[in-house]
Each structure stands twice: as structure tokens, then as C-alpha cells.
Amino acid sequence: MVEAALRSGAAHRRCVFEVFARRLPAGRRYGVVAGTGRLLEGLERFRFGEAELQMLQDREVVDDATLNYLASYRFTGDITGYEEGEIYFPHSPVLRVEATFAEACLLETYVLSVLNHDSAVASAAARMTEAAGDRPCVEMGSRRTHERSAVASARACAVAGFAATSNLEAGRRFGIPTLGTAAHAFTLLHDSEAEAFAAQVEAFGPETTLLVDTYDVETAVRTAVEVAGPRLGAVRLDSGDLVEQAWMVRRLLDSLGNTETRIIVSSDLDEHAIARLAAAPVDSYGVGTRVVTGSGAPTASMVYKLVQRQDATGTPVPVEKAAEGKTTRGGIKHAVRAYDDAGIASAEIIATGTASEVAGQPVRQLQVPLVVAGDIQPGFTGHEGLQQAAERYRESFAELPPDAHRLSEGEPVLPTVFR
């Protein structure tokens, strides 16, 4: 497209692309914007180096004029969007890219790959943290996804309220607290469970977490208490009927005097399993496969669509797609969230052309400048950006009506209203 547009002379026309999802995954009531910080960090490094240009030339993907354009590529346009951590709904304009056609066109796959993955993970993680209530969730899914998406998933989970991750690279890169426990292999390595527990306690102190379901849970709990004593930090359950076992283990620990020893559960947990454990004496959840794969919705299904372009005279012209089932609305969108008198969000209002105004209702503008004339704005990247995104999520979710807490299938918790 870039090569053809360079030839036609249209490549340098100023254009506006918008990112949105036509619908939420089946049964979901809201989505969580995530990945914005990663997107902006990557934008700074979005270049075509010698190796990339050589490959394009060797395979005759593009002509020499396009190679010359790519060699000097730098994004110089503007990007506006929802803050990371913001709740979104169908048709919410979560990102707007304003640049020449060639500049913006080259970003499409990158933008969608980041936002679709991270928003899917964060949206699943949000349902899990809400089901968990005050009990912390720890992300433990690195072994169930690609090594790079594992790091991105840990970050997306942190946006939506996960307390820690087992992925050390995510901890190093983004400042996320890291936690981990021993695996069954560590117990199986030793001649007895008691030897394994003793080795772990000697290395990490009695406050460590001991895995107690390699053999018989009741026997393992008794052994753990004998080895670590009353200061035993936690035991982890990773198989079987977690509700039944949690009650049994709690009673056993209390009878042995270990009333402060916590119970951590894992084993393919999702939001529904966490909700079923709400009445059980569980202290925290280790979540892996389901969260890093979006808990049944591995993509946010966001699209990147041209909504405005300059014509041959330089005049802005709204454009829209008319294909059946995939129509778009032309023109630049402005989004606000409307609230009732009690401060509870009541609607997502989207207007074309000018910022939305709602007579008699308080509103909050949802879009903020992220990149201005190629310069990334401060506060959205690194550890600071992640902390800000997590806070934005907490505040945004707190504004939603009570239906947002329900895990059952239903319509989006807020209607999308076009003005």
C-alpha cells in the first residue's frame, strides 16, 4: 500500500485512523485498555534497519523509492487515545492516529498486535481480580504462552489489579513484584517429602510456601508443620477439589496451631473457579493458562480503520466502510463518559467532529494526547506508566454500575450512544 501510494502521490496526504472494537467478546460486559505503554515504548524504536531493508530488497517486496522512504522512517504524527487501564465498550475510539497515510499505514499491524493481546489479557484479569475481591491474584502463566507474550501478559495483568507475577523479566522490566513457589519436581527430587521441605526451609526460612499435593495432602501438611513450625508462611494446593481441600487444610492447620499459615491455590483457575472459591478459606490465587489466553477471548478484536483523509486539494474528507456487517462511521470521534447524579457511569457517548456535550449531565473526557508531533508524552511509559494505568483501572471500574461485577453473560454494562 505504501509503495502504491508513493507512486500515486497520495502517501503524504494527512489521514486519521481509529482503533476500536465493534463488539465485546460474547458475554463480556466491558473491556480494559492495555498495552498503551508498551506500544509507545516500541514506537520510539520503530525503525527499518539495514537487515530489514536488505531483506525487502532481496525478496523484491518493494521498489527502490519505497526502500528509500523506509530507510528514513520516523513517526512524526499525533496519537490520541484512552488512557491505559480505562474501561472501554463497543465502538469506543480507544486510539486515534493522525499522520500521513504512509506513516500511519505502517503502524497498523504493530498497533493491533499490542492492543489486541494486552487488552484481551487485562480484560480477563479484571474479571478475575473482581471475583477474588480482597484476595490477591498472582500471574503464573509464562509456561502457557510465547516467551515474549508471557512478559506482556504479566504487565497486562498488573494493569488490571494482579498483585505479582512469577515472570522475573516482567519484574525487571516493569517493576512488578515477583513471587514463586517450588514445583512438584523439587519434592520428587528428594528421597522424602520431609527432606524436600527441610531443604526449602533451610534455604528460604520457615516463612516460605510449601507445595503439599505431590503425594497425600493431609500427610504433607502435617510434615510441613513439623519441619517449618508455627511460622510456616503458606501451603499451596495445585490439584483436586480445591474447595474441599482448602477447608480440610484450614481445619488441619488450625488444629496444629498454624493459624497464621496461609493457603494458596492454583491449577487452571479462571474467574468462575475463583468465584466458586469465594467462600473457601483461601488467601490468594495463582492464575496461569486462563489469564494469559484471555479466559476464552484471546483477542480484543480491535480494528484499525481510516476515518478521514485529505483530498487532492488538502481538504479533510470523512470516509467510511460500507461492507455488510463491517460498516464504520466516518469522521474523527470524540468520546466522553456520562454520569448520573450519584456519580455512577451511565453511558459512553461518542460524537463525530466535535467533543460531546450532554445537557444536564456531568461527563468525563476519555481521550488524552499520547504522542504530539512525534514526541511521546511523559507519564505513559515505564514503571510510572504501569502504575498510572493500574490506578486508572481502579478508578474507572469503581465508576461502573453494580452489573459490572457480575460474571454471568449479559449486555455491555454501559450503552454506547452516538451523537
- Residue 133 inside a domain? The answer is no
Closest CA to 86 of 169, 14, 30: 30
Residue 419: its pLDDT value, please? 87
Helix, strand and coil content of the chain, in percent to the nearest 5, comes to 40, 20, 40
Q: Is the pLDDT of residue 358 over 70?
A: no
Q: Is the pLDDT of residue 281 over 90?
A: yes
- Residue 392 inside a domain? The answer is yes
Does 409 share its domain with 373? yes
Does 38 share its domain with 97? yes
- Residue 354 inside a domain? The answer is yes
The total number of structural domains in the chain stands at 2
Residue 203: its pLDDT value, please? 97
Mean pLDDT of 28-54: 97
Closest CA to 386 of 75, 46, 118, 140: 118
Domain harbouring 206, CATH code: 3.20.20.70
Last residue of a domain, one of 236, 271, 306: 271
Mean pLDDT of 235-248: 96
Does 188 share its domain with 110? no
Does 317 share its domain with 401? yes
Mean pLDDT of 351-377: 86
Mean pLDDT of 222-238: 98
Does 413 share its domain with 302? yes
Residue 297: its pLDDT value, please? 96
Does 226 share its domain with 316? no
Segments forming the whole domain that contains residue 98:
2-121+297-418
- Residue 26 inside a domain? The answer is yes
- Residue 350 inside a domain? The answer is yes
Residue 413: its pLDDT value, please? 97
Residue 324: its pLDDT value, please? 84
Report the alpha-carbon distance of residue 189 to residue 339 in Å, rounded: 59
Does 350 share its domain with 254? no
Mean pLDDT of 201-223: 98
Please give the residue that has the higher pLDDT: either 357 or 244.
244
Mean pLDDT of 386-392: 98
- Residue 399 inside a domain? The answer is yes
Residue 357: its pLDDT value, please? 59
Mean pLDDT of 97-105: 98
Residue 356: its pLDDT value, please? 56
* Rounded alpha-carbon distances, angstroms, from residue 164 to 129, 139, 184, 267: 12, 6, 21, 17
Report the alpha-carbon distance of residue 306 to residue 77 in Å, rounded: 15
Is 350 exposed, middle or buried (CB count within 10 Å of its CB: 0-12, 13-18, 19+)? buried
Does 110 share its domain with 196? no
Domain harbouring 102, CATH code: 3.20.140.10
Last residue of a domain, one of 254, 271, 288: 271
- Which grid coordinates are listed for 398? 469503581
Report the alpha-carbon distance of residue 389 to residue 160 in Å, rounded: 8
Does 185 share its domain with 98? no
Does 98 share its domain with 207? no
Does 214 share its domain with 315? no
Does 263 share its domain with 304? no
Mean pLDDT of 61-87: 98
Mean pLDDT of 30-39: 98
Region of 85 please: left (phi>0), alpha (psi -120 to 50) or beta: left
Please give the residue that has the higher pLDDT: either 78 or 352.
78
Is 169 exposed, middle or buried (CB count within 10 Å of its CB: 0-12, 13-18, 19+)? middle
Q: What percent of the chain has pLDDT above 70?
A: 98
Last residue of a domain, one of 271, 289, 312: 271
- Residue 158 inside a domain? The answer is no
Report the alpha-carbon distance of residue 171 to residue 127 in Å, rounded: 23
Report the alpha-carbon distance of residue 380 to residue 139 in Å, rounded: 22
- Residue 160 inside a domain? The answer is no
Confidence of residue 381 (pLDDT cuts 50, 70, 90): very high
pLDDT tens digit sequence for 393-417: 999 999 999 999 999 989 999 999 9
pLDDT tens digit sequence for 131-189: 999 999 999 999 999 999 999 999 999 999 999 999 999 999 999 999 999 999 999 99
> What average pLDDT does the chain have?
96
pLDDT tens digit sequence for 312-353: 999 999 999 888 888 889 999 999 999 999 999 999 999 997
